[in-house]
């Protein structure tokens, strides 16, 4: 009885009592969700263009952040470090295409998926061999202190992150809709063979997609890195992005954003108001359960393309 | 083509294995010194904390070898094995190293401690869990092979509450929150805090944080914006610590009401969190900084000769000092055992006796250049904790400064009894016959 | 020459249905079993048994389980760690709640409990497939670990949340097989027996009608449904039986291998490790599960010890990082040269041996 009340009654009483606090939790959740979306975007880009579920996105986030912070530690100006890191990510993308994906054409999806786990291990080890495993402080000069908006505390850093994510989506949208390469990417995403037959170079396109995903990873890495310090644990943010991915659909960029927001709000509200009933720390699985329940009703995710199967 | 490549790889693997089999006994024979294993982690998610500890641990043995020619003329042969804070790897390291007559293991991971408990007993090898591991192992009658000097988590939790009580006066009606790593490690202090909550009449609120602790916004919204506890205690490790400090600052929680335990209070944590961490408190069982004779010796004899395990500027950091202190315990155990058994490489069983008879008095600490770095510790057959004390320190933006005297945990009052009760329950579950300490020499 | 089946006639149905119809195969398998049962415990020391053979047996069992689900029934799962944890905690609860229960029954019942949990988390597979399913099984992974960590009843209210195996003897004897008193070789032989029996069961299972149904669903689930295979029963039975194996593996991990365990031992990396094993070993192959487990267990140990053997003095952190890199690179290398896994290589080898020493 106690348990039932703590699940079905008390949380709502609390929400009713402190509506302002509820608003604050929701806003906090939305802003955390943006951070998840940043990571999820990289997954979506690659899955859309090549059908590869790129588990290495988390490792790419870490690797990009490590390279950026490491170069800055060597006394480079941040702008030079940024350009160099972008170059490094492009090299990684080309290497991945040449050495891994190019050799695994026509293999089942699960093999490609496993290969990206191999890439994950390699990048984790490689990044740490070069840059070391101690924490690198990455200060991009955004204040971490909260501002008070009508009784609701909002972290300035989180707002900045949201703005960055918004800009990123905007840039990606322009890139996909307005540029030649972007159109080619969309063509490849729709149908590999049709794209090939109209003369779109598949391999180049893949290298470009991985580069773009690497750059998105770099942005995510800088944001997460300046939040937590650049260290090995950054690679684990990938696990936070997976439920976002299934919620939003593997192939949809707006899906990644909306999915991130839903997951962010859902898990924060659940943890704050329902956490006590279950003993706390439910954030970790809550997002997955949410996604799971959701999938039962829409197996292709929120914005995913409907799967049509024929025998 | 493919097949040839693969069979070549397979053969290479097989040869490699054969070679391991042949050499794993030969290569590890003792080179006439005292073998000391270092189960450390310099990789994995917790490496930022593991590296300075490992460097401190290694440097102290280098110091002994360089300055004194070892312990009692016996060179220390120190070998590291990377566990990555991973239990299976820790067990593998242990199994690999245990054949070399290792002096004592210090796994630096509560999980590995648990995994080794049964094995130590079968192999007759001692283990020191300095400021980690299971607290009830302080009862030497049930856990003859495990040593918890100088303090356990339970004693640490008690000391923190003592500090809060000293600041606040009466704790009745106050609220204290515990933010903890949701693992065997983080759960250790709960029992003690629950006992104290009942005794002092304060309200204890628990906030588990799932490994690795990248996301704590919900936790801190609840603590900082709703609950507003008078004090918050943290049992964290790794990235969880700096995240917690940042999120605490983001909800405007005052740093000087926020106390971490000794694994949540190193330079790594506060520096990664940035300027907001100024004022953050942490409990330690040793001093911070480089202003101690033994640290100066390390600077001259180890880093001065370019034999340091890590960069010279980390000497004196909290975790470095902790590694060094842990090495002192190992070395002191060997020394005490040498006094009884003779100056030669000792067996683990002999070292165990040595550790059990460690008496780091003020005079002995001074001799070792540890005055102020460590409070006296004296072990006995039954008491494997040794009566260490705890110090509260504050981060002033540049360095850790002590803000309390040495706080002595209330062992006589209740901690000792809690150890014994818990150990007795363990003994019952495992069919262990308690050792009779009156018969020990 | 050595591997020639000429002259071996199948004169009865029973012989035609044999698991190993070729005499040489039988000899090799029995020989390997004999080596594993006699030579290994006699010749190897604690290190070899404790850090290579024991985890190999335990992980082979888990790999068998996942291979039944993913390799035979085509349902990709990342929840193996959660199911292993279920087995470990079920075994702990069973053996502490009923101290008189024979340890053999504890192992099997913990598998049965896990099978039930597996069916529960297998239900979404009826609606979703592929990577969506894989990520959905992560819900099982995270939820189960959280559950065992959070509910003190599972750990008998231990403060630390760590469970340790109570001492138990083998049925009808007083030889300790779990707990601190048990000898490494006893544990090893016990584990070997379990694995051998359950592997035999698995081998027969996939040749039976249920195994055929799994494969039909794997190859094309809609087509399978059209020819009258019920997807509900087929998929859920795959989840149940696979989870049974994973559960037993988890119980073995806690009771026979490490002796004490906290939920963190079965985290997401464990799930990936098992997935690696079946992919490197060979999807849809019983033998592959063993080869993959051997490879994935042995490789890191070999890599860690390699510099020491070669007489190189490399700092341990560099070794660890290099180990990561080489491990990742080797995974990719194997996937590129032989996507069907080590089991496929073994097949090729057999083909070649059949002809050897003649080229055609």
User: Which has more confidence, B393 or A4?
Assistant: B393
d(CA C267, CA B365): 43
User: Which has more confidence, B106 or A192?
Assistant: B106
The C-alpha of A135 sits at a distance from chain B's nearest C-alpha, in angstroms, of 6
* C-alpha distance from residue A82 to each of A66, A77, A85, A143, A222 (Å): 12, 9, 5, 21, 10
Return the domain boundaries, chain C. Answer: 20-267
Identify the pLDDT of residue C311.
Answer: 75
Verify whether the Cβ–Cβ distance B191 to C161 is below 8 Å: no
Query: Would you call A272 an interface residue with chain B, using a CB distance cutoff of 8 Å?
Result: yes
Identify the pLDDT of residue B147.
Answer: 95
Query: Would you call B27 an interface residue with chain C, using a CB distance cutoff of 8 Å?
Result: yes
Identify the pLDDT of residue A293.
Answer: 84
User: Which has more confidence, B32 or C81?
Assistant: C81
Tell which residue, A78, A156, A150, has the closest CA to residue B246: A156
Query: Taking CB atoms and an 8 Å cutoff, what residues of chain B touch A13?
Result: none
Query: Taking CB atoms and an 8 Å cutoff, what residues of chain B touch A275?
Result: 218, 222
d(CA B42, CA B44): 7
Query: Would you call A238 an interface residue with chain C, using a CB distance cutoff of 8 Å?
Result: no
d(CA B80, CA B58): 9
For residue B150, whether the previous peptide bond is cis, meaning omega lies within 30 degrees of 0, is: yes
Verify whether the Cβ–Cβ distance C332 to A311 is below 8 Å: no
Confidence of residue C149 (pLDDT cuts 50, 70, 90): confident
Q: Where are the alpha helices (DSSP H) in A18-106?
A: 19-50, 57-73, 78-95
Confidence of residue B104 (pLDDT cuts 50, 70, 90): very high
Residue B397 dihedral angles phi and psi, to the nearest 5°: 100, -25
In DSSP notation, A202-244 reads: HHHHHHHHHHHHHHHHHHHHHHHHHHH-BSGGGGGHHHHHHHH
Identify the pLDDT of residue B29.
Answer: 42
Query: Taking CB atoms and an 8 Å cutoff, what residues of chain A touch B272?
Result: 135, 137, 228-229, 231
| Helices B348-356 & B318-341 angle (0-180, nearest 10) | 110
**CA nearest to A295 within chain C:** C128
* Mean of pLDDT values over C199-226: 93
The C-alpha of B30 sits at a distance from chain C's nearest C-alpha, in angstroms, of 15
In DSSP notation, C197-260 reads: HHHHHHHHHHHSHHHHHHHHHHH-HHHHHHTT--HHHHHHHHHHHHHHHHHHHHHHIIIIIISE
d(CA B285, CA B305): 30
Q: What is the DSSP letter of A305?
A: P
Contact call for residues C4 and C351 (beta carbons, < 8 A): no
Nearest to A311 among C226, C327, C331 (CB): C226
* Cα angle: A223, vertex A227, A229; to 5 degrees: 105
- Residue B1 scores a pLDDT above 50: no
Verify whether the Cβ–Cβ distance A144 to B249 is below 8 Å: yes
Contact call for residues A117 and C327 (beta carbons, < 8 A): no
The C-alpha of B188 sits at a distance from chain A's nearest C-alpha, in angstroms, of 16
Q: What is the DSSP letter of A133?
A: S
Query: Would you call C135 an interface residue with chain A, using a CB distance cutoff of 8 Å?
Result: yes
* C-alpha A103, offset from chain centre: 27
Verify whether the Cβ–Cβ distance A99 to C124 is below 8 Å: no
Tell which residue, C39, C63, C300, has the closest CA to residue C188: C39
Query: Would you call C359 an interface residue with chain B, using a CB distance cutoff of 8 Å?
Result: no
- Residue B4 scores a pLDDT above 70: no
Identify the pLDDT of residue B92.
Answer: 86
Structure tokens at C120: 């529960």
Query: Taking CB atoms and an 8 Å cutoff, what residues of chain A touch C130?
Result: 109
| Helices C268-281 & C316-337 angle (0-180, nearest 10) | 40
Confidence of residue B22 (pLDDT cuts 50, 70, 90): very low
Verify whether the Cβ–Cβ distance B16 to C258 is below 8 Å: no
- Residue B9 scores a pLDDT above 70: no
Low-confidence residues in chain A, pLDDT < 70:
1, 307-311
C window 183-242, beta carbon within 8 A of B: none
Query: Taking CB atoms and an 8 Å cutoff, what residues of chain A touch B209?
Result: 281
Contact call for residues B186 and B208 (beta carbons, < 8 A): yes
d(CA B280, CA B276): 9
Query: Taking CB atoms and an 8 Å cutoff, what residues of chain A touch C129?
Result: 299
**Contacts within 8 Å (CB) and 24+ apart, A277-282:** A277/A3, A277/A6, A277/A7, A277/A10, A277/A11, A278/C150, A279/B208, A279/C150, A279/C151, A280/B182, A280/B206, A280/B207, A280/B208, A280/C150, A281/B182, A281/B208, A281/B209, A281/B210, A281/C146, A281/C149, A281/C150, A282/C146
The C-alpha of C316 sits at a distance from chain B's nearest C-alpha, in angstroms, of 6
- Residue B234 scores a pLDDT above 90: yes
Identify the pLDDT of residue B27.
Answer: 41
How many CB pairs lie under 8 A apart between chains A and B?
Answer: 115
Query: Taking CB atoms and an 8 Å cutoff, what residues of chain C touch A107?
Result: 335, 339
Contact call for residues C111 and C247 (beta carbons, < 8 A): yes
Beta-sheet pairing, B231-235 with B258-260:
parallel
Nearest to C302 among B20, B117, B211 (CB): B20
Residue B50 backbone zone (phi > 0: left; psi -120 to 50: alpha; other: beta): alpha
Verify whether the Cβ–Cβ distance B187 to C159 is below 8 Å: yes
Three-state SS across chain B?
CHHHHHHHHHHHHHHHHHHHHHHHHHCCCCCCCEEEEEEECCCCCCHHHHHHHHHHHHHHHHHHHHHHCCECCECEEEEEEECCCCHHHHHHHHHHHHHHCCCCECCCCHHHHHHHHHHHHHHCCCEECCCCCCHHHHECCCCCCEECCCCCHHHHHHHHHHHHHHHHCCCCCCEEEEEEECCHHHHCCHHHHHHHHHHHCCEEEEEEECCCCCCCHHHHHHHHHHHCCCEEEEECCCHHHHHHHHHHHHCCCCHHHEEECHHHCCHHHHHHHHHHHCCCEEEECCCCCCCCHHHHHHHHHHHCCCCCCCCHHHCCCHHHHHHHHHHHHHHHHHHHHHHHHCCCCCCHHHHHHHHHCCEECHHHHHHCCCECCECCEECCCCECCCCCCEEEEEECCCCEEECCCCECCCHHHHHHHHHHHHHHHHHHHHCCCCCCHHHCC
Q: Which of C95, C141, C159, C300 to mutate to test the interface with B (most CBs of B within 10 A)?
A: C159
Residue C215 dihedral angles phi and psi, to the nearest 5°: -65, -35
Identify the pLDDT of residue B17.
Answer: 52
Q: Where are the alpha helices (DSSP H) in A76-201?
A: 78-95, 109-131, 156-178, 180-190, 192-197
Which chains would you list as touching C if contact means 3+ CB atom pairs under 8 Å? A, B
Query: Would you call A48 an interface residue with chain B, using a CB distance cutoff of 8 Å?
Result: no
* C-alpha distance from residue B266 to each of B133, B248, B313, B317 (Å): 19, 17, 15, 7
| Helices A57-73 & A202-228 angle (0-180, nearest 10) | 60
The C-alpha of A146 sits at a distance from chain C's nearest C-alpha, in angstroms, of 32
Identify the pLDDT of residue B15.
Answer: 53
d(CA B369, CA C17): 78
- Residue B12 scores a pLDDT above 70: no
* Mean of pLDDT values over B284-306: 92
A window 20-59, beta carbon within 8 A of C: 53
Query: Would you call B110 an interface residue with chain C, using a CB distance cutoff of 8 Å?
Result: yes
Confidence of residue B369 (pLDDT cuts 50, 70, 90): very high
* Domains by residue range for chain A, with CATH: 2-297 (1.10.3470)
C window 315-334, beta carbon within 8 A of A: 317-318, 320-332
- Residue B240 scores a pLDDT above 70: yes
Verify whether the Cβ–Cβ distance A146 to B252 is below 8 Å: yes
* C-alpha distance from residue B413 to each of B132, B199, B384, B407 (Å): 22, 12, 17, 15
C180 SS3 class: coil
* Domains by residue range for chain B, with CATH: 29-153+291-388+411-439 (3.40.50.2300), 154-284 (3.40.50.2300)
Verify whether the Cβ–Cβ distance B88 to C345 is below 8 Å: no
Nearest to C161 among B21, B51, B187 (CB): B187
Structure tokens at A275: 């956490």
Residues 6+ apart with CB under 8 A from A199: none
Q: Taking the CA of residue B10 as centre, how many other CA atoms within 13 Å lie in the half-sphere pointing to its CB?
A: 15
- Residue B377 scores a pLDDT above 80: yes
* Mean of pLDDT values over B416-424: 92
d(CA A226, CA A69): 10
Average pLDDT of every residue of chain C: 89
Query: Taking CB atoms and an 8 Å cutoff, what residues of chain C touch B2?
Result: 337-338
- Residue B28 scores a pLDDT above 50: no
* Bridge partners, residue B231, by sequence: B176
Verify whether the Cβ–Cβ distance A284 to B48 is below 8 Å: no
* Bridge partners, residue B39, by sequence: B81
Tell which residue, B307, B317, B305, B310, has the closest CA to residue B268: B317
Identify the pLDDT of residue C171.
Answer: 85
pTM (predicted TM-score) = 0.90
Beta-sheet pairing, B359-360 with B377-378:
antiparallel
Query: Would you call A102 an interface residue with chain C, using a CB distance cutoff of 8 Å?
Result: no
């Amino acid at each position: 009885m106690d348990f039932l009340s703590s699940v079905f009654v008390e949380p709502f009483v609390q929400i009713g009592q402190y509506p302002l606090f509820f608003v604050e939790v929701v806003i906090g959740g939305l802003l955390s969700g943006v951070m998840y979306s940043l990571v999820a975007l990289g997954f979506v880009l690659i899955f859309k263009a090549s059908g590869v579920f790129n588990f290495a996105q988390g490792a790419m986030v870490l690797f990009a952040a490590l390279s950026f912070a490491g170069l800055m530690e060597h006394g480079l100006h941040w702008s030079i470090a940024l350009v160099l890191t972008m170059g490094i990510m492009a090299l990684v993308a080309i290497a991945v295409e040449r050495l891994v994906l190019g050799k695994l054409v026509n293999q089942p999806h699960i093999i490609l998926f496993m290969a990206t786990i191999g890439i994950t291990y390699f990048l984790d080890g490689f990044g740490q061999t070069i840059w070391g495993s101690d924490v690198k402080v990455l200060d991009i000069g955004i204040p971490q202190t909260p501002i008070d908006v009508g009784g609701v505390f909002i972290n300035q850093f989180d707002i900045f992150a949201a703005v960055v994510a918004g800009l990123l989506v905007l840039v990606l949208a322009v890139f996909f809709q307005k540029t030649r390469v972007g159109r080619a990417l969309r063509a490849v995403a729709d149908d590999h063979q049709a794209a090939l037959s109209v003369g779109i170079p598949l391999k180049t396109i893949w290298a470009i997609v991985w580069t773009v995903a690497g750059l998105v990873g770099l942005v995510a890495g800088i944001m997460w890195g300046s939040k937590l310090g650049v260290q090995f644990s950054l690679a684990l943010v990938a696990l936070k992005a997976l439920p976002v991915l299934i919620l939003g659909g593997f192939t949809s960029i707006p899906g990644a954003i909306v999915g991130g927001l839903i997951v962010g709000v859902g898990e924060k509200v659940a943890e704050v108001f329902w956490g006590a009933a279950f003993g706390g720390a439910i954030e970790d699985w809550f997002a997955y359960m949410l996604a799971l329940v959701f999938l039962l009703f829409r197996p292709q995710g929120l914005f995913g393309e409907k799967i049509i199967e024929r025998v | 083509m493919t097949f040839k490549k693969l069979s070549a790889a397979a053969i290479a693997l097989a040869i490699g294995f054969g070679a391991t089999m042949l050499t794993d006994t030969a290569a590890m024979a003792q080179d006439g010194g005292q073998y000391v294993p270092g189960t450390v982690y310099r990789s994995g998610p917790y490496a930022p904390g593991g590296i300075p500890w490992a460097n401190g641990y290694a440097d102290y043995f280098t110091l002994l070898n360089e300055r004194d020619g070892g312990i009692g003329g016996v060179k220390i042969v120190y070998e590291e094995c990377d566990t990555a804070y991973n239990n299976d790897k820790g067990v593998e390291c242990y199994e690999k190293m245990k054949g070399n007559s290792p002096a004592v293991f210090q796994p630096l991971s509560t999980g590995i401690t648990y995994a080794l408990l049964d094995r130590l007993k079968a192999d007759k090898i001692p283990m020191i869990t300095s400021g980690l591991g299971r607290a009830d192992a302080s009862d030497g009658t049930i856990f003859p092979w495990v040593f918890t000097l100088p303090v356990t988590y339970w004693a640490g939790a008690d000391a923190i509450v003592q500090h809060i009580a000293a600041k606040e006066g009466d704790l009745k009606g106050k609220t204290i929150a515990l933010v903890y790593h949701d693992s065997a490690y983080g759960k250790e202090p709960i029992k003690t805090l629950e006992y104290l909550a009942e005794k002092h009449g304060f309200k204890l609120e628990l906030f588990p944080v799932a490994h690795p602790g990248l996301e704590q916004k919900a936790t801190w919204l609840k603590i900082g914006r709703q609950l507003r506890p008078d004090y918050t205690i943290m049992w964290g490790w790794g990235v969880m610590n700096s995240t917690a400090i940042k999120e605490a600052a983001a909800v405007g929680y005052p740093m000087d009401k926020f106390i971490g335990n000794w694994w949540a209070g190193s330079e790594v944590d506060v520096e990664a969190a940035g300027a907001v961490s100024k004022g953050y408190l942490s409990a330690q069982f040793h001093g911070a900084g480089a202003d101690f004779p033994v640290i100066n010796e390390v600077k001259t004899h180890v880093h001065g000769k370019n034999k340091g395990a890590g960069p010279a500027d980390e000497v004196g950091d909290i975790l470095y000092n902790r590694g060094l202190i842990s090495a002192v315990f190992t070395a002191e155990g060997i020394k005490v055992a040498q006094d009884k058994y003779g100056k030669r490489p000792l067996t683990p069983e002999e070292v165990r006796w040595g550790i059990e008879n460690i008496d780091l008095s003020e005079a002995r600490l001074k001799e070792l250049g540890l005055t102020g770095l460590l409070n006296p510790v004296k072990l006995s057959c039954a008491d494997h904790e040794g009566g260490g004390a705890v110090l509260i320190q504050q981060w002033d933006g540049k360095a850790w400064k002590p803000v309390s005297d040495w706080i002595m945990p209330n062992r006589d009052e209740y901690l000792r009894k809690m150890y014994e009760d818990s150990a007795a329950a363990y003994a019952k579950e495992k069919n262990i016959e308690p050792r009779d300490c009156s018969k020990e020499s | 020459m050595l591997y020639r089946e000429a002259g071996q006639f199948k004169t009865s149905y029973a012989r035609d249905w044999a698991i190993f119809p070729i005499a040489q195969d039988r000899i090799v398998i029995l020989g390997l079993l004999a080596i594993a049962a006699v030579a290994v415990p006699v010749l190897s020391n604690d290190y070899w048994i404790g850090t290579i053979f024991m985890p190999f047996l335990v992980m082979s069992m888990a790999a068998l389980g996942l291979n039944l689900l993913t390799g035979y029934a085509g349902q990709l799962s990342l929840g193996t760690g959660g199911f292993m944890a279920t087995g470990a905690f079920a075994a702990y609860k069973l053996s502490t709640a009923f101290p008189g229960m024979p340890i053999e029954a504890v192992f099997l019942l913990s598998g049965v409990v896990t099978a039930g949990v597996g069916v529960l988390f297998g239900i979404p597979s009826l609606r979703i497939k592929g990577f969506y399913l894989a990520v959905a099984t992560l819900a099982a992974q995270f939820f189960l670990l959280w559950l065992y960590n959070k509910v003190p009843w599972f750990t008998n209210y231990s403060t630390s949340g760590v469970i340790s195996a109570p001492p138990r003897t083998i049925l009808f004897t007083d030889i300790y097989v779990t707990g601190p008193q048990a000898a490494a070789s006893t544990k090893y032989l016990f584990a070997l027996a379990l694995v051998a029996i359950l592997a035999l069961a698995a081998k027969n299972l996939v040749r039976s009608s249920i195994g055929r149904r799994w494969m039909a669903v794997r190859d094309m689930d809609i087509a399978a449904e059209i020819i009258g295979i019920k997807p509900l029963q087929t998929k859920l039975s795959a989840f149940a039986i696979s989870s049974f194996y994973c559960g037993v593996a988890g119980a073995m991990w806690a009771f026979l291998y490490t002796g004490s365990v906290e939920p963190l031992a079965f985290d997401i990396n464990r799930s990936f490790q098992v997935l690696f094993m079946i992919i490197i070993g060979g999807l849809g192959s019983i033998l592959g599960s063993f080869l993959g487990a051997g490879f994935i267990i042995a490789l890191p140990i070999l890599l860690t010890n390699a510099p020491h053997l070669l007489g190189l003095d490399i700092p341990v952190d560099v070794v660890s990082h290099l180990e990561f890199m080489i491990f990742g690179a080797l995974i990719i290398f194997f996937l590129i040269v032989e996507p069907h896994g080590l089991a496929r290589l073994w097949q090729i080898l057999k083909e070649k041996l059949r002809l050897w020493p003649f080229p055609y």
